[in-house]
Amino acid sequence: MKVTIIGTGYVGLVTGACLAEIGNDVFCLDVDPRKIDILNSGGVPIHEPGLQEIIARTRAAGRITFSTDVEASVRHGDIQFIAVGTPPDEDGSADLQYVLEAARNIGRHMDGFKVIVDKSTVPVGTAARVREVVGEQLSARGLAGSLQHAFSIVSNPEFLKEGAAVDDFMRPDRIVIGSDDDVPGEKARELMKRLYAPFNRNHERTMYMDVRSAEFTKYAANAMLATRISFMNEMANLAERVGADIDAVRRGIGSDPRIGYHFLYAGVGYGGSCFPKDVQALIRTGSESGHNLRILEAVEAVNHEQKAVLVRKITQTLGDDLTGRTFAVWGLAFKPNTDDMREASSRRLIAALLARGATVRAYDPVAVDEARRVLAIDLHDVPEHLKRLQFVGTQDEALTGADALVIVTEWKEFKSPDFVHLKAALKSPLIFDGRNLYEPDAMTELGIDYHSIGRPYVAATELTTDGARRA
């Protein structure tokens, strides 16, 4: 099938590459010439495991094209995926300017039946706005009568986890299709059914529903996952006060099949391109509809506070003035297996340490370049802070001579370090772990002063020479 993908960001590029991988003829459009140049030269502008290999294969086979030619993109695809960004506006609502401009371009150039698919995460009611914008362009061309039934708007939200997006797309747990019940909608459903048939051969994964329900499903899913994260972070903060171990609690409640284990890990808050903006957008939708979403307001507030939890632990241990202190920071991306720095907890942590006079040596396996870019923006008003921020090429470089290690992202390479070497490299054996990678008792037995999230703290000095706790 001939498919056009509008936008070569995270969702668009993964969608286009995976659809090309299964045999479709895919045209990827982006108005940013830099991105298209990177893709046409064999590179990939984002880090996602497996994606570059798929793009290389499908380019060699002639099944994927990258271009800035808008007219050619509209003429190519019977199915037009809109996969552009929907960043948060100042009031928290989703900014739809790029979605609507994509719709205008389709209306300006379409000359036959098109299925226009909202793949971007958009608020309830966006499909109606897209339909209106396309219709306006057809009217301006004098084609409103002849082409009024020549398109249908479909909502097909993505459910991709950064770092595992290729696998999520190729082995989906569900495919949500929202369409109208009219004749163009039925035709659109048939085309979408053909497109996704390879993913349904062993098990039917497609759920058909009305457009507004499909739009709402994406927001509700992300809001639920964000709620679980903030709930566990609230429980972790209380567990520290009452002497409980949040990891034991997680195992205890996760064994209940009604709850399950997913998204029950305490940490330093959620970030990325989806949860923060989608929670805000859903709160805004509720407000505009006269219904305050109090649970989600609390979810957002808890997440904001949780991003400061490591700074609080550091200042409680070392004092508020950190002048002359050096901190090794392991992990910059908001999660492992990505270079995405959007709403990453490391940004707030690093800014807070620098504001208190500290020097930061930061390491991440893939996100250093992106971190350098976004932190330069974050700190542009305080250039003296940037002078105390160093990016290094290995985790050992970050450690040497640092007063403490701070872990922000749970990359695999951080999970089993050489603790003897780590302890020797640091000025003092002090770790602040925002992802609970290590066992507290094991750390204290090694003589490491270890602070984690939601678990009892035992200082190394509270152990006897044989590793037992002092009475």
Q: What is the pLDDT of residues 178-211, one digit of tens each?
A: 999 888 889 999 999 999 999 998 888 999 999 9
Residue 79 has pLDDT above 80, yes or no: yes
Instruction: Assess whether 432 and 374 both reside in one domain.
Output: yes
User: Binding residue per annotation — 264?
Assistant: yes
CATH number at residue 289: 1.10.1040.10
User: Can you tell me the mean pLDDT for 328-357?
Assistant: 97
Query: What pLDDT shows up at residue 462?
Result: 52
Strand spans (E) along 290-429: 326-330, 359-363, 389-391, 404-407
191 known member of a binding site: no
Non-local (6+) Cβ contacts of 353 within 8 A are 311, 314, 322, 327, 360
Q: Are residues 265 and 412 in the same domain?
A: no
pLDDT tens profile 209-245: 999 999 999 999 999 999 999 999 999 999 999 999 9
Domain presence at residue 470? no
Has residue 400 been placed in a domain?
A: yes
Whether 21 and 58 have beta carbons less than 8 Å apart is answered as yes
pLDDT of residue 464: 46
Residue that is last in its domain, among 163, 179, 209: 209
Average the pLDDT over 129-144 and give the result.
Answer: 92
Please state the domain count of the chain.
Answer: 3
Sequence-ordered strand ranges (E) for 11-113:
25-29, 64-67, 79-82
pLDDT band at 467 (very low <50, low <70, confident <90, very high): very low
Q: Does residue 320 share a domain with residue 228? A: no
Which residues are designated catalytic? 274
Q: DSSP labels for 207-228?
A: EEE-HHHHHHHHHHHHHHHHHH
Average pLDDT over residues 37-57: 95
Q: Was 86 annotated as part of a binding site?
A: yes
In this prediction, residue 148 has a pLDDT band, given cuts at 50, 70 and 90, of low
Based on the domain organization, do 167 and 237 belong to the same domain? no
Same structural domain, 321 and 290: no
- pLDDT more than 90, % of the chain: 88
pLDDT band for 471, please (50, 70, 90 cuts): very low
Q: Is the pLDDT of residue 454 over 60?
A: yes
Same domain, 152 and 239: no
Among 95, 82, 11, smallest CA distance to 278 is for: 95
- Over range 46-67, report the average pLDDT: 96
Specify the DSSP element, H or E, that contains 208. Answer: strand 206-209
**Model confidence at 49: pLDDT above 90:** yes
Residue 202 is predicted with a pLDDT of 81
290/365 same-domain check: no
Is 2 annotated in a binding site? The answer is no
Looking at residues 7-32, what average pLDDT do you find?
A: 97
Identify whether residues 454 and 370 lie together within a single domain: yes
Does 398 or 94 have the greater pLDDT score? 398
pLDDT classification of 466: cutoffs 50, 70, 90: very low
Whether the predicted pLDDT of 461 surpasses 80: no
Mean pLDDT (whole number) for 81-91: 88
- Please check whether residue 203 lies inside any domain of the structure: yes
Same domain assignment for residues 187 and 290 = no
Q: How far is Cα 236 from Cα 240, in angstroms, rounded to an integer? A: 6
Q: At what angle do helices 211-242 and 246-254 cross, to 10 degrees?
A: 140
How far is residue 70's CA from residue 105's CA, in Å, rounded to a whole number? 7
What CATH number is associated with residue 69?
A: 3.40.50.720
Calculate the CA 397 to chain-centre distance: 28
Q: Does the residue 468 lie in any domain?
A: no
One domain, residues 28 and 158: yes
Of 180, 209, 238, the position where a domain reaches its end is 209
Residue at 413 is within a domain: yes
Residue 195 domain-assigned (yes or no): yes
Determine, yes or no, domain membership for 438: yes
Q: For residue 429, is pLDDT > 90?
A: yes
Which of 273, 305, 337 is the endpoint of a domain? 305
pLDDT for 414 equals 97
Does residue 349 have a pLDDT over 50?
yes
Residues 73 and 159 in one domain: yes
Could you tell me the CA-to-CA distances from 262 to 84, 233, 253, 334 in Å, in that order?
A: 29, 14, 11, 17
Mean pLDDT of the chain: 94
Residue range(s) defining the domain that contains residue 284: 219-305
121 within domain boundaries: yes
Q: Token pair of 418, please?
A: 């050489």
Q: Are residues 293 and 428 in the same domain?
A: no
- Is 265 among the annotated ligand-binding positions? yes
430 is in an annotated binding site: no
- Model confidence over 254-264: pLDDT tens digits? 999 999 999 99
Instruction: Note the pLDDT of residue 463.
Output: 47
Is the model's pLDDT at 147 over the cut of 90? no
